[in-house]
Amino acid sequence: MLRPIFFLLLALFAGCQRGTYYVAHKAAIAEAAMVVTPHPLASAVGLKILKQGGNAVDAAVAVQWAMAVVYPRAGNIGGGGFMLIRRANGEAASLDYREKAPAQASRDMYLDAKGNVVEGLSINGHLASGVPGAVAGLFEAHARYGKLPMAKLINPAIELAQKGFAVSHGEADRLNAYQADFRKYNEDPNPFFKDKWQAGDLLVQSELARTLQLIRDNGPEGFYKGETAREIVAEMKSANGIISLDDLAAYQAKWRKPIIGQYKQYRILSMPPPSSGGVALVQMLDMLEPYPIAQWGFHSPQTVHTMAEAMRRAYADRAEHLGDSDFYTVPVDSLLAASYLQQRMAGFSPDSATLSQSILAGQFKLTLESFETEHTSIVDQEGNAVSVTTTLNSNYGSKVWVSGAGFFLNNEMDDFSVKPGVPNQFGLVGAEANAVAPGKRMLSSMTPTIVEKDGNLFMVLGAPGGSTIITGVLQVFLNVVEFGLPLDQAVSAGRFHHQWLPDQILMENNALSESTTATLAAKGHRFQTAKAIAVVKAIVRLPDGRLHGAADPRNPDDDARGF
Ligand code: GLY
């Protein structure tokens, strides 16, 4: 009799242990500093660096290295990203370390002889990868703003890769979901091959640890030249990949002038092209500012209708006009001009949805403008802020793991418009501005954002989520400043999204009430449901000066902590 009870208790105890590898803090209030990341182990690294005297950039860099180990589905050294920095003195900078198309890339490289898109070619496998920018970006940010030695920032990641760490439920689920792809696109076995992953299984990444050591000891050349570069190129040559040693050696991150907008007493700093995020966010805010959405109420039919109409118009412009400004004249000033945005909403009707077919992108006389052109939010004890979003694009990127070097390569080439008007994996369409060209950066939706209120740091936010990143950031900001929600509620509240095409409101389950959707349907809106729309990580400065950090419940591993 006692034996079964003993085994039952043992099983329950074991089950409990298996479920408690990390405690992810969904919200935190702190006096001095705050770190919000997609994984508790990465947050712990960021916090440790701050406590050792590092600043927000040091912490962000250390978090990115750690994420490359503990969050292999998106954290990376085989991808790229954008970092937005606001120093305590108000100086702002944005760093572009987005991937670039290899020199052998060409406009029609994903089309067959008949000019049709070859399904999946830009999404999975060796040809889907752009030249990675992450390592160059982290060194560039650190060189300009870091305080602590790089070795101190990278060593925690090396230790996590060498000793291994227990995978979370979320990671185990994804690792299981992608087993077939891992085997399809990789000839050599790698640490991710396993018949069934369970939460708590140890993931040891010795090859990655060695690559991180090479990077620590040799700087960017530990990645872009020598052993690691040769391993990347050998991996490319094992299939149909085209990234060359020259592509790697030539990669450079670029400082760009942040997009700056104003919404009431809030100054918005965000990411310029090759991200569409900053432009589209500021466009939507400008279009919405004249409307009394706070008075209409949170998720009221009129509020949702007006916001969806602003989203529709911004995404129509995104499709036509946004791309890498080093290759295409992106009319940023025209797109953000008050007169243009007023006229953009002129055809807006409070009573009916505008047909997306009738919203063409705005027409401008193109004049040459000036050349200045995963998510973690951090505020340090001096008041410096960093908002950084990096990506492999899909989960585990192209699914190609570089043999010997130990990391996944991105599939960012799918963010190009591989054929005008043909949607990518996020359903986004594009045109000439975002056509593939050698050395060009593909258009992104990543929207690392920092907000000032009356000249002082107010909010730091951003998200993963493909095309829904921009509208996710928009809604969390408005939830706080218009609808008065505390940050954790602002982040967890249901979300919706409109991206011009397809002509529909994407809506999280139960985000909008039945009566709201009925009213909106009567205006002509169509609906599609989604499990999650963006996964926002945000920090807000409270009126008493403390920091409120909020991690998103949409990702169980999202974690906020401060001191
Ligand atoms: N790969 C998603 C984005 O950059 O928008």
Does residue 495 lie in a domain region?
yes
- When the pLDDT of each residue in the chain is averaged and rounded to a whole number, the result is 93
Q: Looking at the structure, tell me whether residues 485 and 499 fall in a common domain.
A: yes
Find residue 496's DSSP bridge partners. 507
The answer to the question of residue 91 being in a domain is yes
Residue 8 lies in a domain: no
* Ligand 1 proximity of 466 Cβ (cutoff 6 Å): yes
pLDDT at 423: 86
Pocket test for ligand 1, best of 98, 375, 393, 408 (most atoms within 8 A of CB): 393
List strand residue ranges (DSSP E) for 373-465, in order: 375-379, 385-391, 449-453, 456-462
Atom of ligand 1 nearest to the CA of 393: 1
**pLDDT for the residue numbered 363:** 59
Q: What is the pLDDT of residue 366?
A: 41
Are 396 and 461 contained in the same domain?
no
Ligand 1 centroid to Cα of residue 394, in Å, is 9
- Hey, how many other C-beta atoms are within 10 angstroms of the C-beta on 3? 7
| Structure confidence at residue 413 (pLDDT) | 97
Q: Which of 37, 211, 373, 390 is catalytic?
A: 373
Q: State which ligand 1 atom lies nearest to the alpha carbon of 467.
A: 5
CA of 344 to the centre of ligand 1 (A): 26
CATH number of the domain enclosing 352: 3.60.20.40
Q: Is 303 a catalytic residue?
A: no
Number of domains in the chain: 2
pLDDT of residue 361: 66
* Whether the CB of 444 sits within 6 Å of ligand 1: yes
350 within a domain of the structure (yes/no): yes
Residue 408 shares a structural domain with residue 477: no
Same domain, 364 and 386: no
Could you tell me if residue 110 is inside a domain? no
* CA–CA distances in Å: residue 261 to residues 270, 336, 367, 422, 541: 8, 8, 21, 31, 19
Whether the link from the prior residue into 274 is cis, omega within 30° of 0, is yes
18 has pLDDT over 50:
no
The reply to whether 402 and 473 lie within a common domain is: no
Residue 472 shares a structural domain with residue 484: yes
Residues 214 and 324 in one domain: no
446 Cα–ligand 1 center, Å: 6
Lowest mean pLDDT among 6-15, 102-111, 305-314, 343-352: 6-15
Q: Domain limits at 132?
A: 28-103+116-255+375-417
Looking at the predicted structure, is the pLDDT value of residue 262 above 90? yes
11 domain-assigned = no
Whether residue 460 has pLDDT greater than 50: yes
Whether residue 296 sits in one domain with residue 246:
no
Residue 108 in domain: no
- Please indicate, yes or no, whether residues 270 and 209 belong to a single structural domain of this protein: no
Identify whether residues 511 and 413 lie together within a single domain.
no
Atom 1, ligand 1: which residue's CA is nearest? 393
- Percent above pLDDT 70 for the chain: 94
pLDDT confidence of 6, banded at 50, 70, 90?
Answer: very low
Assess whether the C-beta atom of 393 lies below 6 angstroms from ligand 1. Answer: yes
Global confidence as pTM: 0.94
Where does the pLDDT of residue 13 fall: very low under 50, low under 70, confident under 90, or very high at 90 and above? very low
3-state helix, strand, coil in the chain (%, to 5): 40, 15, 45
Å from CA of 507 to ligand 1 middle: 20
